[in-house]
Amino acid sequence: GAGVSQSPSNKVTEKGKDVELRCDPISGHTALYWYRQSLGQGLEFLIYFQGNSAPDKSGLPSDRFSAERTGGSVSTLTIQRTQQEDSAVYLCASSLMGTHQPQHFGDGTRLSIL
Amino acid sequence: GENVEQHPSTLSVQEGDSAVIKCTYSDSASNYFPWYKQELGKRPQLIIDIRSNVGEKKDQRIAVTLNKTAKHFSLHITETQPEDSAVYFCAAARMDSSYKLIFGSGTRLLVRP
């Protein structure tokens, strides 16, 4: 595809449920990032995948959050036992490998926890 | 930890005037500084970036300056137009190790016609 694709675009769920958010990076991009943007705030780094290297999980806010990237392409971010403070827009970005490669963002998934 | 501070949080200018947004970073090892523009409900779009080995970069009406000693960088938009109205985010990263972008809190720019 032409850009980073995320699904669903919107997700409303009840507190305590698990959710899965999906990201399809730009074809050929080996680096993939997840960020979170709370209402009216900047973007907060969550996790980074680069090729076959171990992911950088340093931004995950709790052990309820996990992510995987299968086959070096599509990534899934999973939030277990959702809480109201998890409500935010979850943005995925991808880039080519190497230094100073710009990150290109998807439209995000707007997650609302009731 | 790593931190990026961005000012002002809101900026209102008359069409045709210049706008300047400033950011300060804490990690002296940061070497890559992109700027993103985000329109309401849209994805952040990269508008310009600068690497630590240059002090200034220009692209038409947009320029970015970097002062490594002071650890700060600025975005300059000249001849502003109403379509420049958006939220602008600065970011900093170490592109030789972690690659993650540390973002500022954003500046809401309003260009009045």
Q: Please give the pLDDT value at position B43.
A: 93
Q: Please give the pLDDT value at position B48.
A: 96
Q: Please give the pLDDT value at position B68.
A: 92
List chain B residues with pLDDT less than 50: none
- What string of DSSP letters covers A71-106? GGS-EEEEE-S--GGG-EEEEEEEE-SSTTPPPEE-
Q: Please give the pLDDT value at position A97.
A: 79
The answer, yes or no, to whether residue A99 has pLDDT greater than 70, is no
Q: Say if the Cβ atoms of B44 and A43 lie within 8 Å.
A: yes
Give the end-to-end CA distance of chain A in Å, rounded to a whole number: 33
For residues A94 and A55, what is the distance between their CA atoms, to the nearest angstrom?
14
The answer, yes or no, to whether residue A72 has pLDDT greater than 90, is no
Q: How many CB atoms within 10 Å of residue B96?
A: 11
- Give the phi and the psi of residue B97 in degrees, each rounded to 5: -145, -80
Q: Say if the Cβ atoms of A107 and B43 lie within 8 Å.
A: yes
SS3 A80: coil
Q: Please give the pLDDT value at position B98.
A: 66
Best A49, A100, A107 member to test B by mutation, with max B CBs in 10 Å, is: A100
Question: Over the stretch A10-66, which tens digit does the pLDDT of each residue have?
Answer: 999 999 999 999 999 999 898 999 999 998 778 999 999 988 888 899 999 999 999
User: For chain A, which residues lie within 8 Å of any Cβ of chain B, measuring from their own Cβ?
Assistant: 4, 31, 33, 35, 41-45, 48, 50, 56, 58-59, 91, 95, 99-108
Question: Over the stretch B48-60, which tens digit does the pLDDT of each residue have?
Answer: 999 888 899 999 9
Of all residues in chain B, the one with the smallest CA distance to A46 is: B100
